Amino acid sequence: MAQKRNYFRYELKKGNNVLYRGITNNPERRELEHKDEGKRFSHMNVVGPAVTQKSAEIWEEESLEQFRNSHEGKNPKYNETDR
């Protein structure tokens, strides 16, 4: 049985700066949740088409690793912890 492609990869941005990277199955709801949590960003950018949950999880980890590699080991501002 084919896996559902109902997960979206996204970034919260302020101008060109990435403040958060994450995944969700409901981008509209998640954007509102981030605003309610007090995160300050100018826009939410959905990255590519819907994918499977597993594929989205892999993207999230790999994209955060790439970000850390180019930002002195730090995550985007609103991602929880640096590694």
The rounded distance, in Å, linking the Cα atoms of 6 and 4 is: 6
- Residue 82 has a pLDDT of 58
pLDDT digits (tens, 9 = 90+) for 22-77: 999 999 999 999 999 999 999 999 999 999 999 999 999 999 999 999 999 999 99
Domain ranges of the chain: 7-70
User: Does the structure show a pLDDT above 90 at 15?
Assistant: yes
* pLDDT value at residue 80: 82
Residue 12: exposure state from Cβ atoms within 10 A (0-12, 13-18, ≥19):
buried
pLDDT at 81 over 90: no
